[in-house]
Amino acid sequence: MNSAKGLLIVFTGNGKGKTTAALGMSMRAAGHGMKALILQFIKGLWTYGELRSFEKLEEVTIKPIGSGFTWKKENLEEDRRLAKAGWQIALSELERRYYDILVLDELNVVLAYGLLDKMAVVDALEHRTTPSHIVVTGRNAPDELIAIADLVTEMKEIKHPFRDRGVKASKGVEF
């Protein structure tokens, strides 16, 4: 890993592909012998395909740290606690400088729900000195994060099988 400050990359928007793009970057990095850490802020204990895939790659570590679908809960205290614990893991890993890429999956959702102090997160990401590339995913990226990012991609939904035809989530596509 070089000593320059890594890129801050944001994948946002209402379309599919934000997490998938971040996972693809992690796979690409692994192909170059780089190490990636994926912290999943929302996903809970359900078995996702990416968990099985990344078990086979020693360069990529994936850690679900959330409790599931936040937007379906009335009490977000557990999610707030898990988000704070996850953010502390992220900060510790940045300080440790072991990973070349740190994916903060669904961090934008965590910020949109007010589970973490948005400005504290933005400030930490803006003033980091780590050479690690940071990838932040999730809908509703805050303007403050977009402003400091090096690369921002917005996924835009054109058609969706569930919304348009009632087709349920597909194994290998959504999970």
71 catalytic? Reply is: yes
DSSP letters spanning 25-88: HHHHHHHTT--EEEEESS--SS--HHHHHHTT-TTEEEEE-S-S-GGG-S--HHHHHHHHHHHH
Question: Could you give the dihedral angle defined by the CA atoms of residues 17, 19, 23 and 26, in that order, rounded to the nearest 10 degrees?
Answer: 120
Pair of tokens at residue 166: 């009632």
Find the catalytic residue in 20, 63, 118, 139: 20
Pair of tokens at residue 60: 């990529």
Find the catalytic residue in 5, 11, 12, 28: 28
Find the catalytic residue in 16, 52, 73, 81: 16
Q: Is 10 exposed, middle or buried (0-12, 13-18, 19+ CB in 10 A)?
A: buried
Find the catalytic residue in 50, 59, 93, 106: 106
Find the catalytic residue in 12, 19, 70, 137: 19
2 catalytic? Reply is: no
Find the catalytic residue in 46, 52, 71, 95: 71
Find the catalytic residue in 11, 12, 18, 35: 18
162 catalytic? Reply is: no
69 catalytic? Reply is: yes
CA 70 – CA 146 distance, rounded (Å): 23
DSSP 8-state assignment for residue 71: G
20 catalytic? Reply is: yes
Find the catalytic residue in 69, 81, 95, 96: 69
Residues with active-site annotation: 14, 16, 18-20, 28, 69, 71, 106
